[in-house]
Amino acid sequence: MTGKTRRVVFIDRDGVINVDLWKYVENWEEFRFEEGVLEALKALTDAGFDIFIVSNQAGVGDGIFSEAAMWDVHGKMAEELARHGVVIKGAQYCTHGKNETCDCRKPKTKLLERAVHGIAFDRKGTFFVGDKLSDIEAGKNFGVGTILVRTGYGLKTEKQLTAALQPDHIVNNLKDAVPHILRS
């Protein structure tokens, strides 16, 4: 740790960065960026944010696709983003199956802890951007702000919100989340 406080943002993958297919994204051919995502991530990169992808990929643990296939998708996504000037600082994936007991599957916070291990940052003013209740819960469990996007499961999630579980902001997509993140 250098003592320098970083600006950090946590972003879910499926339904936020890429189009949710209502099934697992098993290979790169199935991966489609959501509209405006390249510009959104570029703006965050340019503003100096450390961007961390935090994603549950239970399809690995459930035997639907391999961990190697998951990392292949990740690598090609990161390459494509890099071509657009986006730096992904890190990615944390939970590969445990849906019925496995682990300490990292969101809404648990182990993935977030691992992402920022050794990095000094201010939780106040840091956001988790996601499309599911488990994303909003994970952010709250970790003590950071939360932004719900309406892409992916977001519209469904919006209907499931309760008085006890409310994100700090609700926006149409990642691009619309950027002004809130930058203002933090």
Positions in the binding site for Zn ion (CB under 5 A): 94, 96, 102, 104-105
Q: Is 145 helix (H, G, I), strand (E, B) or coil?
A: strand
What DSSP letter does each residue of 53-118 carry, written as one string?
EEEE-HHHHTTSS-HHHHHHHHHHHHHHHHHTT----EEEEE---TTS--S-STTSSHHHHHHTTT
Q: Which does 34 bind (CB under 5 to 8 A by kind): Mg ion, Zn ion, none?
A: none
Q: How far is the CB of 48 from Mg ion (least distance, A)?
A: 25
The listed partner (Zn ion, Mg ion, none) that binds 15, CB under 5 to 8 Å by sort, is Mg ion
What is the contact surface with Mg ion in residues (CB under 5 A)?
12, 14-15, 131, 152
104 or 178, CB closer to Zn ion?
Answer: 104
Q: How far apart are CA 7 and CA 15, in angstroms?
A: 23
Q: Kindly list the distances between the CA atom of residue 5 and the CA atoms of 13, 20, 119, 165, in Å, as whole numbers in the listed order.
A: 25, 34, 8, 29
- For Mg ion, the closer CB: 1 or 22: 22
**Using CB distances below 5 to 8 A depending on partner kind, what does residue 50 bind out of Zn ion, Mg ion, none?**
none
Paired tokens of 178:
């950027």
Instruction: Return the one option of Mg ion, Zn ion, none that residue 14 interacts with (CB less than 5 to 8 A, by type).
Output: Mg ion
The amino acid present at 22, given as its one-letter code, is W
Q: Cβ atoms within 10 A of the Cβ of 103, count?
A: 11
For the CB of residue 147, give the shortest distance to Zn ion in the complex, in Å. Answer: 23
Q: In the bound complex, what is the minimum distance in angstroms from residue 149's beta carbon to Mg ion?
A: 9
The distance of closest approach from Cβ of residue 131 to Mg ion in the complex, given in angstroms and rounded to an integer, is 4
